[in-house]
Each structure stands twice: as structure tokens, then as C-alpha cells.
Amino acid sequence: MPKSPFTQRVLNIQASATVSAFAKAGELKRQGVDLISLVAGEPDFETPAHIRDAAIRAIEAGHTRYTNPASGIPELKQAICDKFERDNGLRYSPSQIIVTCGAKQTIFDAIIALIEDGDEAIIPAPYWTSYADQVRLMGGNPIIVPTAQDADFCMTARQLQNAITSRTKFALLNSPCNPTGAVYTRENLEALADVLAGTTIYVIADEIYEKLLYDNAEHVSIAALLPELADRTLVVNGVSKSYAMTGWRVGYGAGPQNLIDLMIKVQTQETTNTCTISQYAALEALTGPQNCIERMRRAFAKRRDQIVSRLNQMPGVSCFSPRGAFYVFPRVSELIGNSSPRGRIDNDVSLCDFLLEEAGVACVPGTGFGAPGYLRFSYAAAADEIAQGMDRVEAALGRIE
């Protein structure tokens, strides 16, 4: 066989399971298929009007060139510092902030700066689909730590301890978690911080769903627990989820100066800056009225109750009630191995295909999140779509025996 002209690193990774499922559902809808898509990890709300207006004002004021510096306009970096101090009790100087094309780029830039061939990154599963493949792209090995539904999908201190080797470069913590909706408690995080104290291991703390909490859950940033750990923690956040701004592509990170400086160096060779107009919109998001967040959060909370209760009434389905984000991640392993009118359900991927074809409902298989035997449904969709989607799923699952 002739050698592929393409790199093994790229050939070895998968396309993002979420982005691919989103594209597939979009294509079917464009073809006119009657489909309810509970795939997308994005709010169905419009970006609030005051934020849109700020972007229009930015265009009219001539903010249409590269930003200077490329790593983010100074006003936005200051607003991000103020947000960290106000919301998380974390103090950074503007030089410790990087603004990127979505949080996805913040995470990848950090991984580019931290991971070399053979290095390890500890990633609790179920995990957001991009972490592991971004580590692989840099030649690293994701060390996947499976967490259990009965343990609220949180990695324990003992699990973390057992996963550490001399090659461990960083541990990834995502709270609230996509796809499970798990929220680490202060006690969970203190126990993890104790394990990491005195090591040289970095933490990437992905807190992008920070504002989407239910049942009085509290968001705690691990960086705020231990000053020593703050010096090795990159806190990742962004405006995509809290302000319904997924398309604007603004994420940000804050961390130790040496790491941020390297990430900024990478960014200058990669994307230069994220969209200038979007940065002005993000500035308005962080400094303008905040009541839009609560309005959306309340809507998500209602839909969460609706979808969790529907799923838990379905035979063979067991759904953890998420305390954050906007996904449910029901266990469907009891249905695997059964037969359906369209053939045997071999795994979560075939169950997902079955629901697409038989019910016209799109979701994402747990395998894409390192957790076979589960499905992910987003409830960032209109309540009547969720209701209709659940009716269809229930009817289709009734045809599995």
C-alpha cells in the first residue's frame, strides 16, 4: 500500500461527534426530512438585542480591522478580569487573559503549549468530544477515567490519584459537564486539589456552562481553592452558552503568565485575532445587563424537568438529572442487543441511527463522549419540540424488543 500523503495524527482522530451529528441533522432538514433535532449544544434563543446592537455600533464605528493586540481588545480583557473577580473570586491582570475563536481554541492552544509526544492528559469520561482528539493531535495520550452515574458522574480523588504517572501533563475538569450535566461540588474539588497539590500537573478547567445551574447547585472554580494550583490552572470560559452567542466565536482563558504568553504566541501564527466585531459584542455581553442569562436559565430548567421525567418513564432508559448545562445523558445499555423493526440494536450508535430513521429524532451517541451505552439529547430546544421528540422516541423504543 502506498504511504498516505497525510499525517497519521490527522488520520487517527475522528471528526467531532457533535459537529458531525449537527451537520448530518442539518443536511436532512435541508432535504425536507421531518426531523426533530436534539443534537446541537447551543441555545435556541437569539443573541440578546443589546449585544447585537453593540456589534452593529462596532461596525459603524469602524472597528473592522485586526484587533490590537491580537489576543483581545484591552477593554474586553479588563471586562474578563472583572468577571473573574466578581463571579469566581479570581484575580488576574489583563496580560493573563487570551481571547480566542471560541473556547475550543483556548483549549487547543493550551494543549499545543503543554502536550508533546507521549505526554498524558487525564480526562474524566463522559467527556466533551474534542478534548481527547485535541490531545491526540499533539501526539499525546488521553488517559480516560470513567465516572459512574451512581457517583454523579464526578471523578473522585482516588481515581485521579490512580491515573497520575510521570508523564501526566494536565488534568481536565469540566464543570458543569457536557454531556452529563454533572456539577462538581466544593468538596469534590477540594479533594481533587489536594491530590494535585505539590505536583507539577496543570489543570484545564472548562467552565463554559458556569451560568447554567439548577437545583441551587453552586459553581466553584478549582483555581480559587488553592493559590498554588491557580499558578498551574487555565480557566476556560466564553460567551457562547451563557449569552446565546455560539456563532460569534468568542471564548477566553485566564492562567499563569508563562502559559498564556505561549498560547498567545501560538495564536499569532494561527488565527491572529477572533472577529473584532464579536469582541465588541462580547464586551457588551460581559458588561451590559445580565438578566438575559437568568431568563434563559429558567427556560432551560423547565425543559430539563420535562425531558428527564419523560425519559425516566421509558422502559430500558435511566436518566441522571443534570445540575448544569443543557444536556441529558440517559443510560440506554439495557436496550443494546435487542431487536428492532430495522434490525438488531448493536450499540448506542445503532440506537441513535434507529431513532433517526424510525422516529425522526436526532441525538448523539454516548460513544462520541467516551461512554458507550448512553445517548445525549440537548434540551436547548423549544419545549414543544422536546415534547414531540420524546413522544416519538417513546413510540420508537416501544418497537424494540
Residues that bind ligand GLU (CB under 6 A): 16, 18-19, 40-41, 104, 129-130, 178
Amino acid letter at 377?
Answer: F
Q: Is 370 in the site for ligand PMP (CB under 6 A)?
A: no
Which of the listed partners (ligand GLU, ligand PMP, none) does 322 bind, with a CB threshold of 5 to 8 Å by partner kind?
none
The residue behind cell 492552544 is 109
Compare residues 83 and 104 and give the one whose CB is closer to ligand GLU: 104
Which of the listed partners (ligand GLU, ligand PMP, none) does 208 bind, with a CB threshold of 5 to 8 Å by partner kind?
ligand PMP
CA 105 to chain centre: 12
Residue 210's region, left for phi above 0, alpha for psi from -120 to 50, else beta, is: alpha
**Of the residues 71, 168, 246, 378, which one makes contact with ligand PMP according to CB under 6 A:** 246
**Of the residues 40, 111, 172, 208, which one makes contact with ligand PMP according to CB under 6 A:** 208
The residue behind cell 443589546 is 50
Residues 285-324 within binding reach of ligand PMP (CB under 6 A) = none
Q: Is 126 in the site for ligand PMP (CB under 6 A)?
A: no
State the minimum distance, in angstroms, from the CB of residue 328 to ligand PMP.
14
- Report d(CA 359, CA 361) in Å as an integer: 5
State the minimum distance, in angstroms, from the CB of residue 259 to ligand GLU.
23
Q: Is 178 in the site for ligand PMP (CB under 6 A)?
A: yes
Pick the stretch among 100-108, 163-171, 280-288, 302-310 that binds ligand PMP (CB under 6 A): 100-108
Residue 226 CB: number of other CB atoms within 10 A? 17
| CA-based nearest residue to 384, from 322, 319, 307 | 307
Cβ–Cβ under 8 Å, residues 69 and 261: no
Question: Kind and range of the H or E element at 205?
Answer: strand 202-206
Q: Is 219 in the site for ligand PMP (CB under 6 A)?
A: no
Which of the listed partners (ligand PMP, ligand GLU, none) does 16 bind, with a CB threshold of 5 to 8 Å by partner kind?
ligand GLU
β-strands 327-328, 375-378: how paired? antiparallel
Instruction: Calculate the alpha carbon distances from 368 to 51, 239, 241, 346, 376 in Å.
Output: 33, 24, 20, 16, 9
**Of the residues 37, 147, 159, 174, which one makes contact with ligand PMP according to CB under 6 A:** 174
> What is the chain's length?
401
Compare residues 104 and 310 and give the one whose CB is closer to ligand GLU: 104
Residues 14-43 within binding reach of ligand PMP (CB under 6 A) = 41
Which of the listed partners (ligand PMP, ligand GLU, none) does 221 bind, with a CB threshold of 5 to 8 Å by partner kind?
none
Which of the listed partners (ligand GLU, ligand PMP, none) does 174 bind, with a CB threshold of 5 to 8 Å by partner kind?
ligand PMP
Which of the listed partners (ligand PMP, ligand GLU, none) does 207 bind, with a CB threshold of 5 to 8 Å by partner kind?
none
Q: What angle do CA 319, 15, 300 make, to 5 degrees?
A: 35
Residue of closest CB approach to ligand PMP? 102
Residue 137's region, left for phi above 0, alpha for psi from -120 to 50, else beta, is: alpha
**Of the residues 104, 136, 304, 376, which one makes contact with ligand PMP according to CB under 6 A:** 104
Name every residue whose Cβ is closer than 8 Å to that of residue 251 and which is 6 or more positions away in sequence: 99, 100, 101, 102, 103, 104, 105, 106, 208, 236, 237, 238, 239, 240, 274
Residue of closest CB approach to ligand GLU? 41
- Report d(CA 66, CA 62) in Å as an integer: 11
Q: Which residues form the interface with ligand PMP (CB under 6 A)?
A: 41, 102-104, 128, 174, 178, 206, 208, 238, 240, 246, 251
